[in-house]
């Protein structure tokens, strides 16, 4: 279900300020082979242009629907290292990125981000290792090796120490490390940072994070990429239904 956009969103403005990334367009005519990864993923083959919300854009979808591939493509097209980190953080423990970034055209606003970070839950460990050899990167963790913190502690330290105003943040499943309570802390941080002119692009499975009100949610599926209202996401509907009817769900799930 799509919802009505405010004039302000349509112009890609936030509080009178322009988005860093206004939209992305898939340059389909340049794709050599639409049946090969990443274009073999239905959601990544069919869209033309998608508008980003000036504050938070979420991507949701089943496991394997293409969220990480898409978010990585956006991050690399925006100038981040494919494996994660800041824009001047350059290393590779494996060559992992797909060719999607080469076929995505990002429409940028008139402002340039002052800072930013690409976080992939899947390679946070590699970023942490690399950080130990990099003084500036270590400062982002409060000068304590992230290997000496729990996964969630390291992630929240990074957000508190490193994320700041006028930044572009691309996060792939940031909830992976976080307890429900800490996901609420992350929501609060996102709120403070968007008030400080930041923009977020986030893939997630978390019904808590998805509740962020100043956001647009895109759903990746066999049918392509469609905008969806919070209450119409499976994350909200299934979690709510399960918690309200737990006994019934479990009986049905476990029956022979």
Ligand X SMILES: Nc1ncnc2c1ncn2[C@@H]1O[C@H](COP(=O)(O)OP(=O)(O)OP(=O)(O)O)[C@@H](O)[C@H]1O
Q: How distant, in Å, are the alpha carbons of 61, 88, 117, 226 from that of 112? A: 30, 15, 14, 28
41: partner contacted, choices Mg ion, ligand X, none (Cβ within 5-8 A by kind): ligand X
Q: How far apart are CA 73 and CA 71, in angstroms?
A: 5
Q: Which is nearer to ligand X, 17 or 31 (CB)?
A: 31
Q: Which is nearer to ligand X, 41 or 50 (CB)?
A: 41
CB of 94 to ligand X, least distance (A): 10
CB of 250 to Mg ion, least distance (A): 27
Binding-residue pattern over the window 44 to 73 for ligand X, x denoting contact by CB under 6 A: -----------------x-xxxxxxx----
Q: Which two tokens stand for residue 106?
A: 């990002």
> Which residues in this chain contact Mg ion in the complex, by CB under 5 A?
67-68
Q: Which is nearer to ligand X, 61 or 146 (CB)?
A: 61
CA-CA-CA-CA torsion sign (106, 47, 39, 31) = negative
Q: Which is nearer to ligand X, 68 or 86 (CB)?
A: 68
CB of 154 to ligand X, least distance (A): 20
Q: Does 35 bind ligand X (CB under 6 A)?
A: no
Instruction: Provide the CA 173 distance to its chain's centre, in angstroms.
Output: 7
CB of 130 to Mg ion, least distance (A): 21
Give the number of residues in contact with ligand X, rule: CB under 6 A.
10
CB of 101 to ligand X, least distance (A): 13
61: partner contacted, choices Mg ion, ligand X, none (Cβ within 5-8 A by kind): ligand X
CB of 203 to Mg ion, least distance (A): 6
Question: Looking at beta carbons, which residue is closest to ligand X?
Answer: 68
Q: Which is nearer to ligand X, 64 or 165 (CB)?
A: 64
Q: Which is nearer to ligand X, 41 or 104 (CB)?
A: 41
Phi/psi of residue 202, each to 5°?
A: -135, 130
Contacts with ligand X by CB under 6 A lie at 37, 41, 61, 63-69
């Amino acid at each position: 279900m799509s919802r009505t956009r405010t004039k302000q969103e349509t112009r890609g403005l936030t509080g009178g300020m322009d988005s860093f990334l206004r939209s992305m367009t898939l340059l389909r005519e340049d794709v050599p082979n639409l049946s090969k990864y990443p274009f073999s993923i239905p959601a990544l083959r069919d869209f033309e242009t998608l508008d980003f919300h000036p504050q938070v854009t979420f991507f949701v979808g089943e496991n394997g629907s293409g969220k990480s591939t898409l978010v990585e493509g956006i991050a690399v097209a925006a100038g981040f290292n494919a494996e994660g980190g800041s824009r001047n953080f350059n290393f590779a423990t494996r060559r992992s990125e797909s060719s999607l970034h080469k076929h995505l055209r990002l429409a940028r606003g008139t402002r340039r981000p002052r800072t930013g970070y690409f976080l992939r839950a899947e390679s946070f460990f590699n970023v942490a290792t690399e950080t130990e050899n990099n003084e500036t990167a270590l400062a982002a963790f409060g000068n304590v090796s992230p290997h000496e913190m729990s996964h969630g502690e390291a992630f929240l330290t990074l957000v508190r120490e490193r994320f700041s105003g006028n930044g572009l943040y691309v996060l792939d499943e940031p909830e992976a490390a976080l307890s429900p309570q800490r996901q609420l802390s992350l929501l609060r941080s996102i709120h403070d940072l968007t008030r400080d002119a930041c923009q977020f692009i986030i893939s997630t499975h978390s019904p808590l994070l998805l509740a962020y009100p100043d956001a647009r949610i895109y759903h990746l599926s066999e049918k392509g990429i469609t905008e969806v209202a919070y209450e119409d996401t499976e994350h909200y509907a299934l979690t709510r239904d399960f918690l309200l009817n737990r006994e019934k769900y479990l009986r049905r799930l476990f029956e022979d």
